[in-house]
Structure 1
């Protein structure tokens, strides 16, 4: 009883501590890496379900590498879902079956934690099997998440779960800058982008009593607004309300002296952490971000300090 009380006190203290950190945000143009604006962007903090961006990326990368059809690969809901707190909107039970595609829709659009765990368990087990190993599929998957983080320069990020819920004895963390890097990398992938830009999707779960169908709605309220095509929301007591948003504009086209045309793609990534009005905040930052970007381009796109002004996101996979 005393131990449980101490754990509860520790969690409450952590939640208050992170809440006192205030808002963090970053606005960056994805193709040039130009940082438009940022506040508290390198402060470590929980990021809640923005963690699932990495979960989605690992799954899409695995499917691309193996040729797996996510709509045809069926995952079994593992017993470990019973230890995951929070809502269970699809009433997932151990032994239920769901395609990886539908589980990924539930995790990425509806932010379903049990669906994220189911995806991680299946993909992690497949990765272990391909290496001739046995073990914990979820742990193997989380290891891949952290390896991805190293590969794309997430220097202040640690993933401990595939869903982002806080754990009593081990805390995951990231920063607005690292989430921006992760979002840039994720949105380079057509399969990932297709998922996160959906407003809703119909998914099916095969249970002991037969199939159950659900309409999963995107928790990102900005989806459907002009140019918005992702990427993820997240909320926990410790992290506060968070969102990462991608906003596209038509490419800039200019004629070069030799007569050929130069095409410059344009995409803003806006990350907002711990803001109770995250959607309006992100909407405003998108508008301000494009205005600032246009001024920067009109001035000749000057760079004074590349290390501070440019976000470098490798493309290792």
Structure 2
């Protein structure tokens, strides 16, 4: 009892200390990498279910690499989901079966922690099998998440689970800048983007009593507004309310001296961490961001210090 109390006190103290750090945000144009505005953007902190952006990316990358049709492969809910807590709108239980596609919808739209664990367990075991090994599928998956982080230069991020829920063993963290990088990378992938731009999706779970159908709604309130493509929400006591948003505008088209047309795509990524009014805050940052970006382009897109002004996101996979 005494040890449990000490753990609880430590967890609450950590939540308070992160809350005292206040809001963090970053606004960046995804194609040029131009950082429009930022505050506390390199401060390490929990990011809750924004963690699931990496989960979705790993699954989409794996499916592309192996030629797997996510709609035709079923995953079994593992025993390890018991006791993790958080959203479980579909009442998933160990032994239930769900396609990887539907599990991704549940994890990325509904922020379902059980669904995130299910895809991680299945894909992690497949990765181990492909390497001639066996073992903990979720552990292998989280290792892959951290390898992705290294590959795209998430220098202040450590993934500790597929879901991002605060637990005694979690210890995961990231920054607004790193989440922005992760979001840029994720939204380059049509399969990922298709999922996160859905307002809702019907999914099916197969259990002992037969199939159960659910309508999973997107927790991102900005979905459906002009230009909004995703990407993810997250909330825990330690992280506070968080959101990452991608917004597209029509490309800029200009005539080059040789008569050909130059086309410049435009996409803003806005990451807001620990703001109780995260959606309105994101809307405001989008408005300000587009205005500042337009002025920057009109001035000839000058860059004086690439290290500080440009967010570089490699494309290693």
- Indicate the TM-score class for this superposition, using the shorter chain for normalisation: over 0.9
How do 1:25-104 and structure 2 match up within 5 A?
25-104=25-104
Q: Which residue of 1 aligns with 2:217?
A: 217
Q: Which residue of 1 aligns with 2:178?
A: 178
How do 1:168-317 and structure 2 match up within 5 A?
168-317=168-317
How do 1:94-173 and structure 2 match up within 5 A?
94-173=94-173
* Mapped partners of 1:205, 1:214: distance in 2: 8
Q: Which residue of 1 aligns with 2:4?
A: 4
Q: CA deviation at 1:170?
A: 4.0
* Mapped partners of 1:130, 1:199: distance in 2: 35
| CA-to-aligned-CA distance 1:8-47 (integer Å, 9 cap, x gap) | 0110001001000000000000000000000000000000
Pairwise CA RMSD: 0.5
Q: CA deviation at 1:85?
A: 1.3
Between 1:41-50 and 1:86-95, the stretch displaced more is: 86-95
| CA-to-aligned-CA distance 1:231-283 (integer Å, 9 cap, x gap) | 00000000000000000000001110000111000000000000000000000
* Mapped partners of 2:206, 2:155: distance in 1: 40
Q: CA deviation at 1:161?
A: 0.2
Q: TM-score, normalised by structure 1?
A: 0.99
3-state SS in 1 of match to 2:138: helix
* Mapped partners of 1:166, 1:132: distance in 2: 33
Structure 1: gaps spanning 5 or more residues? none
* Mapped partners of 1:87, 1:28: distance in 2: 30
Q: CA deviation at 1:88?
A: 2.0
* Mapped partners of 1:125, 1:277: distance in 2: 39
* Mapped partners of 2:86, 2:253: distance in 1: 48
* Mapped partners of 1:167, 1:241: distance in 2: 17
3-state SS in 2 of match to 1:270: strand
Runs of 4+ in 1 over 6 A off after TM superposition: none
Q: CA deviation at 1:129?
A: 0.4
Q: CA deviation at 1:168?
A: 1.0
Structure 2: gaps spanning 5 or more residues? none
What number of residue pairs does the alignment pair up? 317
